[in-house]
Amino acid sequence: MKRKEKRSRKYLGSRTWGAGNTKNRRGKGCRGGKGMAGSFKHRYTLITAIGKEKIKKLKKGFVSKSKKLKFLNLFEVEKLAKESNEISLKGYKVLGNGELKKPLTIYASAFSKGALEKIKKAGGKAIIKTEE
């Protein structure tokens, strides 16, 4: 009686060892690898069409994450500053919708042009406070 062949022996000489296409048994989804992985296997057509040098240039560098500011309009700022004449809005941009009825000193991360004009018109101060 013939013994059952070991799987490793059975698949010798086979490129994919019974997995079908090369992408099927990766375990990382359908990305195709990191960096220049598969440049002579499953990404061969991409490399030959575009060229290795151009792809390396495309992959160079990174984009730093931009800080998203929350925003408040002037009428909301006035509601928040009912009792005091000063208000600190760290991480906010003040927009110019609404009117100021009393002079306020507003500390914020950013101001729109319209908001700056309306704050000065009301006799207040707009001070840009950078995050530290």
Query: Would the pTM of this model clear 0.75, i.e. be above it?
Result: no
- Please state, rounded to an integer, the average pLDDT across all residues of the chain: 85
List all residues 6 or more positions away from 112 whose beta carbon is below 8 Å from its beta carbon.
93, 94, 95, 96
Which runs of consecutive H residues, i.e. helices, occur in the chain?
A: 7-10, 44-50, 52-58, 74-80, 113-121
User: With 60 as the cut, is the pLDDT of residue 110 above it?
Assistant: yes
Tens digit of each residue's pLDDT (9 = 90 or more) over 52-89: 777 777 767 788 888 888 999 999 998 988 888 899 99
Domain ranges (residues) in the chain:
34-63, 70-128
pLDDT tier at 41, thresholds 50, 70, 90? confident
List all residues 6 or more positions away from 32 whose beta carbon is below 8 Å from its beta carbon.
23, 26, 38, 42, 43
CATH topology of domain 70-128: Ribosomal Protein L15; Chain: K; domain 2 (3.100.10)
pLDDT at 120 (0 to 100) = 95
First to last CA, the chain: 79
